[in-house]
Amino acid sequence: MSKIINSSGEEADFTKPLYVPIKRRSFFMYAGATAGATALLLSGCNDDDDAGVTPEGTVNVGSGSVGVLNYAYALEQLEAGFYTALRDGTYYKGLMAGSAEKQILDDLYYHEVIHREFFKAALTRDAASAMIRSDLQPNFDGIDFNARVTAAGSAKLGVLNAAKAFEDLGVAAYNGAGRFIATDTAGLNYLVAAGKIVSVEARHAALIRDLVSEGSFVDSDVVRIGTDGLEISKTPAEVVATANLFLKEGSKLNVSGLV
């Protein structure tokens, strides 16, 4: 257990909990007063595997900096889960070994798993008692893992269209979530970390869009042109309206604390 990285060729470890034997630091040691009160509230009612599950059966991410971390962790779980399922699907398995698209989908899968595990490590260290569950259950019934792109007339998304939806959604979500991070030292570090990740998500989004349709990397549905050149930004409520379509009952996200 002393290796940073499992160097085996097996693919079995993704669903296992990450072993993180670090000391848990008190959130109150560095969080601001408001965030501290939030953590108290959350840890007061959620201190076991059901952390974050509200009576309605949704997964409440909480509020403040920890809420944003949970929110990001949930979205990264969804993205990583998508690429995991994709690699188990017919389309991916039919790709030639060493083909450009296979390499790209592999890279995106690795990046998203790393992002997911990064947030898990940060939450485990900083706010373990308020962390959402690590096993959000995706619902990919709306995705056809046999199809590269959405077939004409099909109600199901092709894998690249689904990837595009997830990557664009991820960028818009990070853009809209920065404002909920507390302006304290911990918040700054989370903001920097999110910033390091969101630009990689934007690179993914651009690449996937170009694979779907070359040159569509900054189409007007994602970047406003002729006014301020800003990428779209979505509120947490807008994001989960989409994200929850891809999550099973009991794993649907509640972002009522991020307002």
Partner 1 sequence: MNILKLLADLAAVDSDSFERISGRRVVLASLGQNGRRAVAAAVPLALSGVLTKAYGRRSSTVLDAFSLALTLEYLESDFYTQALASGLVFPGTTKTVIQAIAKHEQDHVTFLQRTLRESSVEVPQKPKFDFTGSKNATQPALFADVFSNFSTFLKVAQLLEDTGVRAYKGQVENLMTDNDLLEAALRIHAVEARHAAHIRGMRRALGANVRYWVSPLDEDITTAPTAPVYADENAVKQAIVTTTDIILFPLDTATGVVTTTKEKAEQSIREAFDEPMTETVARRIASLFIYA
Burial of residue 128, with CB atoms counted within 10 A of its CB: 0-12 exposed, 13-18 middle, 19 or more buried: middle
DSSP 143: B
Smaller CB distance to partner 1: residue 53 or 206?
A: 206
Least distance to partner 1, CB of residue 209, Å? 8
Site for partner 1 in 66-105 (CB under 8 A): 104
* Residue 50 CA from chain centroid, whole number: 20
Binding mask 161-190 for partner 1 (x = CB under 8 A): ----------x--xxx-xx-x-xxxxxxx-
In the complex, minimum distance from the CB of residue 53 to partner 1, in angstroms, rounded to a whole number: 25
Residue 44 sits in the site that holds partner 1 (CB under 8 A)? no
223 contacts partner 1 (rule: CB under 8 A): yes
Nearest distance from C-beta of residue 57 to partner 1, angstroms: 29
Q: Return the number of the residue (9 or 44) whose C-beta is nearest partner 1.
A: 9
Q: Where are the alpha helices (DSSP H) in the chain?
A: 33-45, 64-86, 90-93, 100-127, 159-177, 185-212, 236-243
Dihedral (Cα; 165, 191, 37, 118), 10-degree rounding: 70
Q: Which residues 3-42 are close enough to bind partner 1 by CB under 8 A? A: 3-14, 16, 18-22, 25, 29-30, 32
Q: Largest Cα–Cα distance of the chain, in whole Å?
A: 56
**Of the two residues 45 and 193, which places its CB atom closer to partner 1 in the complex?**
193
How far, in Å, CA of 19 to CA of 241, rounded?
32
* Distance between CA atoms of residues 158 and 140, nearest Å: 11
3-state SS of the chain: helix, strand, coil percent to 5? Answer: 55, 5, 40
Beta carbon of residue 253, minimum distance to partner 1 (angstroms, whole number): 21
Nearest distance in Å: CB 46, partner 1? 22
Task: Report d(CA 127, CA 123) in Å as an integer.
Answer: 5
Among 42, 59, 61, 111, binds partner 1 (CB under 8 A): 111
Query: Which one, 53 or 177, has the nearer CB to partner 1?
Result: 177
Residue 202 vs 253, nearer CB to partner 1? 202
Q: Write the interaction track for partner 1 spanning residues 129-168; mark x where CB under 8 A is met and - where it is not.
A: ----------------------------------------
- Read off the tokens for 229: 């050149």
